[in-house]
Structures are given as structure tokens and as C-alpha cells.
Amino acid sequence: MAVCDGERALRLKRETMAIPVLRAAMISHSQSQQLIHSLSAINETAKRRKTVVFSSSFSELNPLIRSEVSFCVGTCLIPHPKKVVANSNPIELKPLHIKPFPCFVNTGGEDAFFVSNYNGGVIAVADGVSGYATFFSGSCTVEDSKTKKKKPPEYRSFNYDSHFWAEEDVDPSLFPRELLANASNFIEDEEVNYDPQILIRKAHAATSSTGSATVSIVAMLEKNGTLRIANVGDCGLKLIRNGHVVFSTSPQEHYFDCPFQLSSERAGQTYLDAAVCNVELMEGDTIVMGSDGLFDNVFDHEIVQTIVKYKDVAETAKSLANLASSHALDSNFDSPYSLEARSRGFKPPLWKKILGMKLTGGKLDDITVIVGQVVSS
């Protein structure tokens, strides 16, 4: 994996890192790196199988007759506004090619990611779950005060809700941070054998922090262009080719706003619940990976427009993160999140109903964006 700096590419030594979201007024951290791609699949009965979910012609997919490719990667992270330290100045992470590794920031939000140049390259995003205690007290349900029966939570607003883990004196950022730190340590493990699902299993088993996280994506990249993806939860990855989104991972959830998650408790999901697939990439493709803070606030066409506008992946990642942040703060923006909420039957507050208003608004959250452009090695 090499770091992209404009049109120049610098070769990196093998290094890994896990980075949490910073607690800052705004994080305009942008980075560039070169990676490569790959991944695998498993069904609900935990029987292993591999599936090519998007492909082109045989000549494009056959590693014997296609050139090696790699990713030029840019990243950006912006924390939830209410997780920002008062009077703090914006903090920018050091570029990924600058030591020391890994780079941890203890005063961050609850998203974390790591990028590694091992083999073709490995990237991953995890989203810490603040309301995990609610999930395990009633499968993302609330208790009716009269009947004492469990029921799905009603729509309250798109405002930041209380931290259930924090109420138990648990820092929700520790679990995803340690989880990805462990993953970065296991990528060379012989048992992992470049399988993202096994990497999730070993990283989860080694994590001792109390908490939970949706491990969006672990993507392991091969030099022949195969991207191997394993996903537990509602973070996501999209593949953009020739100005169109041609592949997207699907969020895993029990129901609306209640994602699958790995946890320190027995009641959570495991690596066997991961959605796994292989995607074949070509030179010129672009992937966008991120936490739900990105995809709940930015539409596919906006992602494509941003990619077309900015040729540099670092600027693209920064622009997408800022766009997601802007939409999240706009109570009148009809976001992907509000559209999905209405489609699931959620209703606006009474005062909005009286005024004839519909349920709208972005979703305030930590925002993590990784943009990778496929280039010839």
C-alpha cells in the first residue's frame, strides 16, 4: 500500500492503525493511501460459501490476464456535536504514513477505523453503540409504563439521545477502539488466512472492554482486484463505477434503527451473523465506506456528484463528511434517515402534525468516511 499525494505515490512500510473519532469542533482530517482489495460469504445457517455479487467480463476478472490494482485512500472523521469538548479547537489526525502507530485518541467519539497495508490492504470501520443497554434489556424495545410489556421504541426526534452505557459509567468508544486494534493485530495471523469473517471472530474474542459496536465493514483487498467484505451492522460500503452506484452493502438490523452488533455480552451477534461477499473491482472504480452517520444523511446521487467534483480522494472524503454533517444539523432536510423512518410508519411530533408538517431532518451522529480510488499498481 502506498500513500497518494497528488499525482505522486510514496511506498509505505507495513503498518496498521486503529483511529477513534476525535472530540473536536470539526475534524477536517484527510489522508491518502494506496491499498488493494478482496472478501468472502456465509449464509444464515453459518454454512460458508463465496459469492461474486458484482462482476464484469471474464477478461476483467481473471487475475491471469488483468493488471494488479490498488486503492488510493482518503479518510475523514467528524464527531457528534454533543461529543465535542467545550471550547476545543479543531483537531486534525496525522497522515497515516506518519508514525507512531497505532494512533489512539482517548477523547474521541464512538466511531473507529483502521487502515493497514498488509498484503493488498485491509480497511475497517466500527461504530460504538451508546444505547446498547436498551438493546439487551428488551431487544431494542422500551417498556410500556402501564402494561409493563415490551414494545418497539416510538419516534422521539432526530436529536441525540442519552448514553445508556454512560449511565453505567462505561465509555462507549472503548469497545470499538479495542475491537479494531485487535483486528489490526490479527491480520497476519495464519488462522485468519485473509478471511475477514475469521478476522472479526478473533478480534471480537480478544476484546475485553465492556460495550458494543456495529462492525460495519472489514474489507480485505487482493492485488487481483477482489474485494472481500464482511459486515455486521449498519455501517456500509458502496462501489461507484462510471458515475453510478453499482453495488451497496445492506444494513443488518432487527428493525429500524436497531442494528446488529458485536458486544461484550452473550446476547449480541457474532461473526457467524456477518453478511459476507466478494466484489470484483476495476481500475477507475471508487469505493466509499463509512459509518451510518454518512449514509443516514447523504443520498447516493450526492455521493456520486461529490466523487465527480473532487479528483483527490482526501478532498472527496472531507467533502462527504462535511456534507453529512451539514445535513445532520438541518431539521428541514428530507434525509435518507427521515425517508426510511416514514416508510417504517414513524410519525412526526404532535406539534408538527398540527402544522401539517411531515417527519424530516438529518440524523446527528459520529461520521466516518473512507474513500478509495482504484488505480493500477
What residue segments make up the domains of the chain, in order of their start?
2-376
> Which of the pair, 96 or 356, is modelled with greater confidence?
356
The pLDDT value given to residue 325: 94
The model's confidence at residue 239, banded by pLDDT at 50, 70 and 90, is very high
Pairing of strands 69-78, 33-35: antiparallel
Please name the residues in contact with 52: beta carbons below 8 A apart, sequence gap of 6 or more: 61, 278, 279, 280
Mean pLDDT lowest among 40-49, 198-207, 326-335: 40-49
Do residues 40 and 195 lie in contact, with contact meaning Cβ atoms separated by under 8 Å?
Answer: yes
What tens digit of pLDDT does each residue of 262-315 get?
766 666 667 667 789 999 999 999 999 999 899 999 999 999 999 999 989 999
Q: How confident is the model at residue 177 (pLDDT cuts 50, 70, 90)?
A: confident
With a cut of 80, say whether residue 121 has pLDDT above it. Answer: no
- Which stretch of 63-67, 284-288, 289-293, 323-327 has the lowest confidence by average pLDDT? 63-67
pLDDT for 267: 61
Domain 2-376 sits in CATH at 3.60.40.10
How confident is residue 223, by pLDDT bands cut at 50, 70 and 90? confident
The rounded distance, in Å, linking the Cα atoms of 167 and 169 is 5
> What is the structure's pLDDT at 258?
67
pLDDT at 2: 42
Q: Compute the half-sphere exposure of residue 92: CA atoms within 13 Å on the CB side of its CA.
A: 8
Cell numbers for 256, please give them.
Answer: 429500524
Inter-CA distances, 111 with 79, 92, 131, 271, 368, Å: 8, 15, 14, 19, 7
Q: What is the pLDDT of residues 153-170, one digit of tens each?
A: 443 333 333 334 455 566
pLDDT of residue 108: 46
CB-count exposure of residue 193 (10 Å: 0-12, 13-18, 19+): exposed
Which of 42-46, 134-138, 187-191, 285-289 has the highest average model confidence (pLDDT)? 285-289
The pLDDT tens digits for 10-21 are 333 333 333 333
* Model confidence band, residue 208 (pLDDT cutoffs 50, 70, 90): confident
Q: What's the farthest any 2 CA atoms get from each other in the chain?
A: 68
**CA nearest 123: which of 253, 256, 254, 217?**
217
Answer whether residue 101 shows pLDDT above 50: no
Indicate the pLDDT class of residue 179, thresholds 50, 70 and 90. confident
| Reported pTM | 0.69
Is pLDDT above 60 for 32?
no
For residues 142-156, give the mean pLDDT.
41
Local confidence band at 118 (pLDDT 50, 70, 90 cut-offs): confident
Output the CA torsion sign for 131, 160, 371, 33.
Answer: negative
